[in-house]
Amino acid sequence: MSKSRKKKVLIVDDAQFVRNRIRKVIEKMDFAEVAGEASNGDDAISLYKELKPDLVTMDLVMPNTDGIKAIEEIIKIDKNAKIIVVSAMGQTLSILEAKEKGAKDYIRKPFREEDIYRTIERFLKA
């Protein structure tokens, strides 16, 4: 049996340590790999176009273009984009708005690594 291509994940968060934690989880997966990282919504949109990842983890509160706007733009590029919001507590309205704009799911910060793993696995192994 030939080894199937690993799914590509784009990590979007303005905090380097959060991107590092998510990267660490993805590196443990035999079915996924990190395709790229962005620290703001503008970079997220241009990297999405360039890398065409299978899944995006998206922070909502970032400088310049925020996560909601980035989700909106990515969905315009690819209406089937799989975007998982990873954002802090107390942003319930933003999370609801993100889902309206096309996000598939969300994980609250501070997150447990197994939550990230399970959620990504659910969308990439479906």
* CATH number, residue 85: 3.40.50.2300
Say if 15 falls within a structural domain: yes
Say if 30 falls within a structural domain: yes
d(C-alpha 50, C-alpha 9), whole Å: 13
| The predicted structure's pLDDT at residue 15 | 96
Say if 1 falls within a structural domain: no
d(C-alpha 25, C-alpha 118), whole Å: 10
| The predicted structure's pLDDT at residue 63 | 87
pLDDT digit of tens for each residue in the chain (126 aa)?
Answer: 445 789 999 999 999 999 999 999 999 999 999 999 999 999 999 999 999 999 999 999 998 899 999 999 999 999 999 999 999 866 678 889 999 999 999 999 999 999 999 999 999 997
H or E element, residue 93: helix 92-101
| The predicted structure's pLDDT at residue 91 | 67
Helix, strand, coil content of the chain in percent (nearest 5): 45, 20, 35
| The predicted structure's pLDDT at residue 89 | 67
Range of the domain at 69: 7-124
Say if 2 falls within a structural domain: no
pTM: 0.94
Say if 114 falls within a structural domain: yes
Provide the domain count of the chain.
1
